[in-house]
Structure 1
Amino acid sequence: MGTLLIILVVLFLALIVIIPLVEKYAPRGENRDLNKIARWIIPLMALLIVMQMLRHYFG
C-alpha cells in the first residue's frame, strides 16, 4: 500500500510541474486545427462505445 501511495504522489507532483510548462511553451493552436479535431470527437466516441459493447458481450 505504501508503494502505491508513493507512485500516486510522484505522478501528482509530476503533473503539477509538467502541465504549467506545457501550457507556457506549447504553440498556440489555430481555430481551424481545433475545428478539425473537434469534428472527429463524437464519431470516435461512438465507435469506442460500440467496440466496448462488442468486447463486453463477445470477449
Structure 2
Amino acid sequence: MGTLLIILAVLFVSLIIIIPLIERYAPRGENRNYRHITRWFIPLMMLIFVLQLVRHFFMS
C-alpha cells in the first residue's frame, strides 16, 4: 500500500510541474482541423464495445 501511495504522489507532483512547463514552452501552432479525427470516433467506440462484449462472454 505504501508503494502505491508513493507512485501516486510522484505522478501527481510530476503532473503539477510538467503541465505548466509544457504549456509555457510548447510552440504555438496554427489552428488544427480535427474533422479527420472525429470521423473515427464512433467506429472506434463501436469496436471497443464489441471487443468488451467478446471479452465479457468468452473470458469470464
Smaller-chain TM-score bracket: 0.7 to 0.9
Partner of residue 19, structure 2: 19
Q: Which runs of 4+ in 1 moved over 4 A?
A: none
Q: Secondary structure at the match of 1:31?
A: coil
TM-score, normalisation: structure 2: 0.73
Question: For 1:24-59, what per-residue CA distance to the aligned partner results, in whole angstroms no more than 9, with x for missing partners?
Answer: 315536332x22112212211111111111111112
Gaps of 5+ in 2: none
Structure whose residues are more often helix by fraction: 1
Alpha-carbon separation, structure 2, partners of 1:12 and 1:3? 14
